[in-house]
Amino acid sequence: MLGSLSALGALGALTACAAPAGDGLDAAGSPVARYDWDPGSGGDAALMEGTLALRDGCLYIVGEGDADGLTVVPVLSRELAAWDATAEVLTYAGRDYAMGDTVFAGGGWGAPTPDMTIPDACVPDEWGEVMHVQDVDLEPYAG
């Protein structure tokens, strides 16, 4: 990928915190793409780095330093994510992230799959791919 959307080494096994029940993630109009991922199952070896942005009803990651504003749809773990529509705040693994915050996550790119819930407003990247997040937090990777 371009800019700071780059591949890095495999991620280590980590522990997870569950999102609170009734979190707005699956509410009508939720901008968060999501899927069922078991944190104990490991993950792919790519790293996504960028800034959270809410655009036209979809949560995107905008690549840091990318002059063209390269964007990706992060597909987040249903178990770890929550969405507050009023405050426009993503909670992931118990930590809050506002629009404009820089985030990092391991995972992999691929076409959306039937087990993913992708909001209609979300547009995959120019290759038709989304980033399935396979990480238990959105903080810098401390390899």
Percentage, residues of the chain above pLDDT 90: 55
Rounded Cα gap, residues 17 and 136, in angstroms: 8
Q: What's the DSSP call for residue 117?
A: B
What's the confidence (pLDDT) of residue 141? 64
Query: In the predicted model, is pLDDT for residue 41 greater than 90?
Result: no
> Per-residue pLDDT for 5 more than 90?
no
Q: Does residue 22 surpass a pLDDT of 50?
A: no
Residue 4 pLDDT: 37
Lowest-confidence pick of 46-50, 75-79, 114-118: 46-50
Average pLDDT over residues 54-60: 95
Cα–Cα distance for residue pair 90/87, rounded to 1 Å: 9
* CA distances for 32 relative to 9, 43, 104, 117, 121, angstroms: 26, 20, 16, 8, 10
What pLDDT does residue 67 have?
54
User: What pTM, to 2 d.p., does this model score?
Assistant: 0.80
pLDDT in tens, 82-141: 999 999 999 999 999 999 999 998 899 999 999 999 999 999 998 999 999 998 889 876
Buried b / exposed e along 105-115 (16+ C-beta atoms within 10 A): bbbbbbebeee
Check if the beta carbon of residue 37 is closer than 8 Å to that of residue 77. yes
CB 107 within 8 A of CB 43: yes
Q: Distance between CA atoms of 30 and 119, rounded to whole angstroms?
A: 7
Selection from 39, 37, 19 nearest residue 83 by Cα: 19
Mean pLDDT value of segment 42-62: 89
